Amino acid sequence: MIQAIFGFCCLLIAEIGILFGLSYYAINVIAFCYVEPIFTGCMLLFAILSLCKVPIRKIGIIFFWLVVGSIIVLFIIGTMYIIKDCYVYQNNLELLRQHLFIKETNPFIINKFNDTMIWLENIGYQRNVSYELVNLIIYVAVMPFFCIISYFTLRYAKTRN
């Protein structure tokens, strides 16, 4: 089950990368090493400031919905491309990796991607779980969970203030 979810996520990321003319490596680094941690940090900061009665809750709520709306649109578009590539053309993930994925040539991106993979693999090894499970827990469960909790904190602060 974990492999299937992870495989779908990898394919989705690759399809979104293709839409932007980016490699699988580049879209991973941009999305999961920069955008998602910054978004999560901003949401946590907005929630904390809002609880401290700093009038920022409306900005935080708008920011949340702009980012979430963009993610939903990208998810829908990426899923449509997955359906086309996997079902219409009968391609599997390995074939797509060989033929469709854009090659990465930037050494910074490759190094950042590999360093992140090593970090996730080390966490998995220490916890006796797979790299894929650690990846899904951190990037698909924990960070979005903190963003959702922050959003509801902002909503709660709105009714409290």
Q: By the 8 A CB rule, do 64 and 151 touch?
A: yes
pLDDT at 135 over 90: yes
DSSP secondary-structure letter at 92? -
Q: What total of structural domains would you count in the chain?
A: 1
DSSP state of 55: S
The tokens for 14 are 């690759």
Domain that holds residue 106: 2-160
How many other β-carbons are positioned within 10 Å of the β-carbon of residue 78?
Answer: 21
Tell me the mean pLDDT in the region 81-104: 67
Q: Higher confidence at residue 88 or residue 7?
A: 7
Q: Give the mean pLDDT of the chain.
A: 87
Is the per-residue pLDDT at 12 higher than 90? no
Total-model pTM? 0.82
Q: Cβ contacts of residue 150 below 8 Å, gap of 6+?
A: 40, 43, 44, 46, 47, 60, 64
Instruction: Give residue 130's Cα distance to chain centre.
Output: 18
Higher pLDDT among residues 12 and 98, named by residue: 12
